[in-house]
Amino acid sequence: MGVSCGCVERHDHAVLTVTDLTVRYGRAVHALQGVSLEVPDGAVVAVLGGNGAGKSTLLRAISGTLRLHRGTIDAGEITLQGRRIDQLDPATIVRSGVVQVPEGRQVFAQMTVADNLRAGGLAAAPERRAPARERVLDLFPVLAQRRGQRAGLLSGGEQQMLSIGRALMSDPKLLLLDEPSLGLAPRLVTRIGEIVAEINDQGTAVVLVEQNATMALRVAGHAAVLEVGRVALAGTTEQFADSDEIARLYLGGHAESEEQARVEADRAATSRRTLSRWSG
């Protein structure tokens, strides 16, 4: 089977299902149109796509934080383990087991590392807080070393780790990561990839939004590419890798310039036509 165009794979055991989701901001901007996505139990699903494709909007819709950005779900539904969550408020969604690490880290800069983690743990059942904290400090020993330091004084990489650690303190079933590698040095990007794999090995499903396709597709078992609010491609990462064209376009790293990005977008359109011939 080739990489399918705009289709969803159906799994009997999905932790999260997004069906035909349409989202707008204000009156005019349709940020997502008929987007469907499944996260199989225990999977890492990569969501790729350029700036403005709708990646953050998708995560906000899942975590219920869309309203904080004046966004509205116009159509579609989102279910967590078969139960609808698209009408719930963000706090209830966190308690149901879904937590988002927003774009740009957003740690509480004036608070200490320990207090940031404590704040993340407030959503967890009291008896789950100590094990969650142990897991986080195990994953990120640097946070134990810096526990008394103000979060705003940490390096970018450390802030990203704190941001992920704070989210894990709520003991989630599903972790939503919005471009965790953004602005980090290559060594740290690799480290973030390893950490995502480790978190997943411990039993947490992950939706990994990335512009760094190389890292994301190394860690993920499934991937979807968003283009201007629609799913342009979806499949397993093996299917992505089996397609030479897709491998070159989406596994090959970043466009060096806007001109190159345009050239690559043209090539992507051509390859999609080829792919739809295969699958159609």
Taking the least distance from each CB to ligand ADP, the nearer of 27 and 187 is: 27
Distance CA 144, CA 249 (A): 40
Closest CA to 61 of 33, 27, 95: 33
Contacts of 118 (CB under 8 A, 6+ apart): 169
Taking the least distance from each CB to Mg ion, the nearer of 103 and 115 is: 103
Sheet holding 14-25, edge to edge: 29-40, 14-25, 71-80, 83-84
Q: Which stretch binds Mg ion (CB under 5 A): 55-63, 87-95, 122-130, 188-196?
A: 55-63
The only residue of 52, 102, 104, 221 in contact with ligand ADP, by rule CB under 6 A:
52
Amino acid at 83: R
**How far apart are CB 139 and ligand ADP at their closest, in Å?**
26
DSSP string covering 106-154: ---TTSBHHHHHHHHHTTS-HHHHHHHHHHHHHH-HHHHHTTTSBGGGS
The only residue of 49, 90, 120, 165 in contact with ligand ADP, by rule CB under 6 A:
49
161: number of CA atoms within 13 Å, CB side?
27
Is residue 131 within 8 A of residue 85, CB to CB? The reply is no
How many residues of this chain bind Mg ion (CB under 5 A)? 3
Sheet holding 174-178, edge to edge: 98-101, 174-178, 205-210, 44-48, 222-227, 230-236
The only residue of 53, 98, 215, 275 in contact with ligand ADP, by rule CB under 6 A:
53
User: Is residue 100 close enough to count as binding Mg ion by CB under 5 A?
Assistant: no
Taking the least distance from each CB to ligand ADP, the nearer of 65 and 116 is: 65
The only residue of 4, 17, 33, 56 in contact with ligand ADP, by rule CB under 6 A:
56
Q: Which stretch binds ligand ADP (CB under 6 A): 52-60, 125-133, 240-248, 268-276?
A: 52-60
User: Is residue 64 close enough to count as binding ligand ADP by CB under 6 A?
Assistant: no
Taking the least distance from each CB to ligand ADP, the nearer of 68 and 109 is: 68
Site residues for Mg ion per CB under 5 A: 55-56, 103
Using CB under 6 A, list all residues that contact ligand ADP: 25-26, 29, 31, 49, 51-57, 69-70
